[in-house]
Amino acid sequence: MRFRPEQHIRRPGEFRTVREQGRRFDCGAFTLWHRRREGAVDRPRVGVVASTASVGAAVQRNRAKRRLRELFRQHQDLLPAGTDLVLVARAAVNRLDYPALAAKFADACRRLSSTPHA
């Protein structure tokens, strides 16, 4: 499934809304914040954050963001429609092999689907 431009969270206010009004799952290699938009029936959206302090230099930050975006692209069908996600990378996101990372993300998506609206 494609990762369309309208599925990106880009504005600082949108990131802030998800973190202030949403819920958080700690997944070890990354933290997943989620919030369902009121009345939204469109595709889930995602924003990815990787800071120098938690991930490292630019090469590591960019690799972490690419890996998290790809996880979202491959597993977006596990998410309820109208969900906003903010994925915050940690250093372990680059140390884990991709199948282990995908398993963590898929597990978080399943837990997210079973929780009440945030």
Global pTM exceeds 0.75:
yes
Q: Position 69: which residue type?
A: R
Range of the domain at 26: 5-113
Number of domains comprising the chain? 1
Question: Per-residue pLDDT tens for 10-41?
Answer: 999 999 999 999 999 999 999 999 999 887 67
Domain annotation covers residue 118: no
Domain annotation covers residue 64: yes
Residue 63 banded pLDDT, cuts 50, 70, 90: very high
Burial class (CB in 10 A: 0-12, 13-18, 19+), 11: exposed
Domain annotation covers residue 12: yes
Residue 49 banded pLDDT, cuts 50, 70, 90: very high
**Mean pLDDT of the chain, nearest integer:** 90
CATH of the domain at 18: 3.30.230.10
